[in-house]
Amino acid sequence: MGNLNKEIRDGDHPDITEERLKSTFDTHKMAAQIYNSQRAADRRNEITSAVLKIPELQDIKPLPFLSREEKVEEAARKIGILSEHLYDLVNVNDGAELYHLNNVVIGGEGNPLALHGVMFIPVLQAQATDEQKKKWLYRAMKREIIGTYAQTEMGHGSNLRKLETTATYDKATEEFVLNSPTTTSMKWWPGNLGKSTNYAVVVATLIINEKDYGPHSFMVQLRDENTHKPLPNIEVGDIGPKMAYNATDNGFLKLNHLRIPRTNMLMKHVKVEKDGTYIKPPHAKMSYSAMVHVRAHMNNTMAYFLASSLTIAVRYSSIRRQGHINPKEPEVKVLEYQTQQHRLFPHIARAYAFSFAGAETVRLYEKVKKDMESGETELMADLHALTSGLKSVVTYLTMQGIEQARQSCGGHGYSMASYISEIYGIAIGGCTYEGENMVMLLQLARYLMKAAKAVKEGKKVEGLVGYLSAPDNRHSLIDRTPEKSYDTYLKTFEHIARQQIFRAFDKLEKMLTSGLPHSEAWNKCSVELTRASRLHTRLFIAQAFARRVHDVVDFHIKEALDDLLHLHLNYELLDVASYALEDGHLCGEQMNFIRSELYRSLGKIRPNAVSYVDAWELSDMELRSVLGRRDGHVYENLYKWAQNSSLNRTDVLPVFEKYLKPLMMSARKNSKL
């Protein structure tokens, strides 16, 4: 039998090998849990190995040393080479394989086809008629054309109903006239709109006979297919550098009375007839499908970003020695400090939890997508509520986890050699894009308030909110039942979410009864409402984690996941415990129990810490981090990495003669006077 941790190699830093030898589970079998099948986990490694054999696909130098222009060019160069090898490397119909290939070869900073795959193709798949698919989708899939999703404007992103771009139907010519009437109506932010794409699905307010029908999707050709020059009546460009994600050309677009054929409106579910008759879709929000597509997949991308940062931080913490626990013994690995464990391990548990919650969400999404094809829309509201809450909670907690990972690496965490700051910058975009987090929490709150109302009216609610009408214990049974049971924890989470949902509901009702208009009352309750949404979502995440552990068959994997789940439940409960203390559901004694279980959990996780992150099987090529190197040889490589700095090309920089020398000379002259 070989080593359980599959990352062990000769020549690795002994401190990291020591960690890996302690593993109680097979890291590749754990990868099968993370990536949802053994086959998917195998394929990731096969793809990585194949990529490593193609020299042109390697980074020309560490990405932090490239300028923005070089980053854009480098990503495009790799896309070109990848296209030649694509069919040998991956199954192009498998989104997970494509995602992995992108992460290994190009990384998270973006590429000219980022939005093409993430939104342009999905929106055509969901909203184009068969005829339109023939015209654009198949060409897009073959990459004959490159597209994006242009919805957000300079003045409006969250409130879609106030988009200023208009698509006015002209019955005489059977065309739509697309227009950006003001500066604020310019499309602003769409990924790859600036320089890479030649087509876009543009979301504009549909006007027929002066009547406003709200946001609809239109196919617009932006650039000549051969020269790539913008077509007449179109102004398009890059919006400039961002916090991170700078290999992507997020762009602006101004349309000046641009005429497009009637048949360029995406009409699978909604129609405008030649004579201007409007035929409604089966569900008013069907055209929002591309956003729901991304939101449904965000749990997994966030889990990936979080796991990447933790892989870097935990590996580094196992070779970084500083200070003593026992003064008579050598300096310890910083991973021995309880504070370091407390800083990192709960986030490892979250990364796993997000991945498991993500798998359930994608399953529901696939079902709804299939239903929608046949006009069935019943589950759309559930999916919208679930994905709205998850995208908000998961992006926010990921942000916290990545920042803790950075701080846990001390000074070197602040260097781009750790690469954590880039991962952070890319990940936190998710708090904003696909619906600003507060806005999306309030969307979920609408759904929760409806459910609460139904319960108050004596109706039984089911599914994701079923717990609202389930019996509740006045006091939590944590520490009060003989057997160790997650059920008592989950029931406590249920209680907390239920109480907060009804608290927000009662507050809202009271204001409404006092005569306040609904929108004002809603605004005055909105902090309470977002709290309710967060607690509901965190309950779902904990439940999804428990469901997965329950389903695992392999004993050692189950045991290792069980340890993580135990940590998760205790840590998360402490984080939200004030809600349960408020109404006496938990008492001080139980809080002590939860805290001591948490500390016990940290000790239990400790020997497997490196293996838990290794199980994500993130190669050095995709991590792009000196601190996170698989072999643990950080210090000599930090020194090598710094040699890339262009400041080191000469011993004396021109600024010395220009500014520093005169400054020092004049200071010396003055001191002689």
Ligand X SMILES: CC(C)(COP(=O)(O)OP(=O)(O)OC[C@H]1O[C@@H](n2cnc3c(N)ncnc32)[C@H](O)[C@@H]1OP(=O)(O)O)[C@@H](O)C(=O)NCCC(=O)NCCSC(=O)CCCC(=O)O
Ligand Y SMILES: Cc1cc2nc3c(=O)[nH]c(=O)nc-3n(C[C@H](O)[C@H](O)[C@H](O)COP(=O)(O)OP(=O)(O)OC[C@H]3O[C@@H](n4cnc5c(N)ncnc54)[C@H](O)[C@@H]3O)c2cc1C
- Please report, in range form, the residues annotated as the binding site for FAD: 152, 191
Question: Minimum distance between the CB of residue 69 and ligand Y, rounded to whole angstroms?
Answer: 19
Instruction: At 440, list the tokens.
Output: 């999306």
Question: Minimum distance between the CB of residue 618 and ligand X, rounded to whole angstroms?
Answer: 20
Verify binding: residue 122, ligand Y, rule CB under 6 A: no
- Per-residue contact string for residues 320-359; x = within reach of ligand Y by CB under 6 A: ----------------------------------------
List CB contacts of 53: < 8 A, sequence separation 6 or more: none
Instruction: Give, to the nearest 10 degrees, the angle between helix 526-551 and helix 486-513.
Output: 160
Coil, helix or strand at residue 618:
coil
Instruction: At 542, list the tokens.
Output: 């904990």
Span of 57-65, 426-434, 582-590, 614-622 interacting with ligand Y by CB under 6 A: 426-434
Q: Which does 288 bind (CB under 5 to 8 A by kind): ligand X, ligand Y, none?
A: ligand X
Q: Which does 150 bind (CB under 5 to 8 A by kind): ligand X, ligand Y, none?
A: ligand Y
Q: Locate tokens 């892989």: which residue?
A: 311
Q: Which does 538 bind (CB under 5 to 8 A by kind): ligand X, ligand Y, none?
A: none
CB nearer ligand Y, residue 119 or residue 627: 119
According to CB under 6 A, which residues from 131 to 160 bind ligand Y? 149-152, 156-158
List CB contacts of 611: < 8 A, sequence separation 6 or more: 4, 5, 19, 20, 22, 23, 24, 25, 27, 30, 560
Question: Minimum distance between the CB of residue 47 and ligand Y, rounded to whole angstroms?
Answer: 26
Coil, helix or strand at residue 247:
coil
Question: Minimum distance between the CB of residue 526 and ligand Y, rounded to whole angstroms?
Answer: 6
DSSP 223: B
CB nearer ligand X, residue 381 or residue 516: 381
CB nearer ligand Y, residue 233 or residue 526: 526
Distance CA 579, CA 145 (A): 53
Instruction: At 207, list the tokens.
Output: 């006007």
From 435, 486, 504, 532, residue interacting with ligand Y (rule: CB under 6 A): 435
Q: Which does 40 bind (CB under 5 to 8 A by kind): ligand Y, ligand X, none?
A: none
Q: Which does 200 bind (CB under 5 to 8 A by kind): ligand X, ligand Y, none?
A: none
From 8, 34, 47, 115, residue interacting with ligand Y (rule: CB under 6 A): 115
Strand bridging mode 234-238 / 211-221: unpaired
| Nearest residue to 521 via CA among 445, 454, 461, 583 | 445
Q: Which does 160 bind (CB under 5 to 8 A by kind): ligand X, ligand Y, none?
A: ligand X
Query: Which residue is at the shortest CB distance from ligand Y?
Result: 157
8 A C-beta contact, residue 642 and residue 648: yes
Instruction: At 600, list the tokens.
Output: 């016990």
CB nearer ligand X, residue 48 or residue 152: 152
Q: Which does 389 bind (CB under 5 to 8 A by kind): ligand X, ligand Y, none?
A: none
According to CB under 6 A, which residues from 165 to 224 bind ligand Y? 189-191
**Annotated catalytic residue: which of 97, 403, 434, 597?**
434
Question: Minimum distance between the CB of residue 450 and ligand X, rounded to whole angstroms?
Answer: 7
CB burial of 526-541 (b: ≥16 within 10 Å; e: otherwise) equals bebbbbbbbbbbbbbb
Question: Minimum distance between the CB of residue 157 and ligand Y, rounded to whole angstroms?
Answer: 2
Distance CA 562, CA 546 (A): 8
Verify binding: residue 251, ligand Y, rule CB under 6 A: no
- Per-residue contact string for residues 575-594; x = within reach of ligand Y by CB under 6 A: --------------------
CB nearer ligand X, residue 161 or residue 474: 161
CB nearer ligand Y, residue 239 or residue 587: 239
Q: What are phi and psi of 68, to 5 degrees?
A: -60, -45
Distance CA 621, CA 612 (A): 19
Distance CA 1, CA 498 (A): 49
Coil, helix or strand at residue 452:
helix
List CB contacts of 14: < 8 A, sequence separation 6 or more: none
List CB contacts of 447: < 8 A, sequence separation 6 or more: 381, 382, 384, 385, 465
Q: What is the dihedral of CA 33, 35, 36, 38, to 10 degrees?
A: -80
8 A C-beta contact, residue 399 and residue 424: yes
Question: Minimum distance between the CB of residue 391 and ligand X, rounded to whole angstroms?
Answer: 9
Strand order in the sheet with 187-188: 187-188, 251-255, 234-238
Question: Minimum distance between the CB of residue 301 and ligand Y, rounded to whole angstroms?
Answer: 13
Verify binding: residue 439, ligand Y, rule CB under 6 A: yes
Within 10 angstroms of residue 254's Cβ, the number of other Cβ atoms is 21
| Helix H or strand E encompassing 21 | helix 14-21
Q: Which does 285 bind (CB under 5 to 8 A by kind): ligand X, ligand Y, none?
A: ligand X
Q: Locate tokens 């762009």: which residue?
A: 251
Strand bridging mode 175-179 / 166-170: antiparallel
* Apex 542 CA angle, 362 and 345, nearest 5: 105
Verify binding: residue 432, ligand Y, rule CB under 6 A: yes
CB nearer ligand X, residue 64 or residue 190: 190
CB nearer ligand X, residue 401 or residue 435: 435
From 107, 429, 628, 632, residue interacting with ligand Y (rule: CB under 6 A): 429
Q: Which does 438 bind (CB under 5 to 8 A by kind): ligand Y, ligand X, none?
A: ligand Y
How far is C-alpha 557 from the geometric centre of its chain's CA atoms?
Answer: 26
CB nearer ligand Y, residue 190 or residue 358: 190
Residue ranges of the annotated binding site are: 152, 191
Q: Which does 395 bind (CB under 5 to 8 A by kind): ligand X, ligand Y, none?
A: none
Identify residue 612 by its one-letter amino acid code: Y
Question: Minimum distance between the CB of residue 365 and ligand X, rounded to whole angstroms?
Answer: 11
Distance CA 575, CA 41 (A): 33
Question: Minimum distance between the CB of residue 52 and ligand Y, rounded to whole angstroms?
Answer: 30
Span of 216-224, 227-235, 322-330, 435-443 interacting with ligand Y by CB under 6 A: 435-443
Distance CA 399, CA 548 (A): 24
Q: Reply yes or no on whether 434 is catalytic.
A: yes
Residues within the interface to ligand X (CB under 6 A): 118, 149, 151-152, 157-161, 191, 285, 288, 291-292, 294, 380-381, 384, 433-435, 439, 443, 446
According to CB under 6 A, which residues from 488 to 527 bind ligand Y? none
From 76, 379, 381, 438, residue interacting with ligand Y (rule: CB under 6 A): 438
CB nearer ligand X, residue 382 or residue 528: 382
Q: Locate tokens 């798949």: which residue?
A: 125
8 A C-beta contact, residue 567 and residue 346: yes
Verify binding: residue 245, ligand Y, rule CB under 6 A: yes
List CB contacts of 211: < 8 A, sequence separation 6 or more: none
Q: Give the interface size with ligand Y as a residue count (CB under 6 A).
A: 21
Q: Which of the residues are catalytic?
A: 434
Residues that bind ligand Y (CB under 6 A): 115, 149-152, 156-158, 189-191, 245, 250, 429, 432-433, 435-436, 438-439, 442
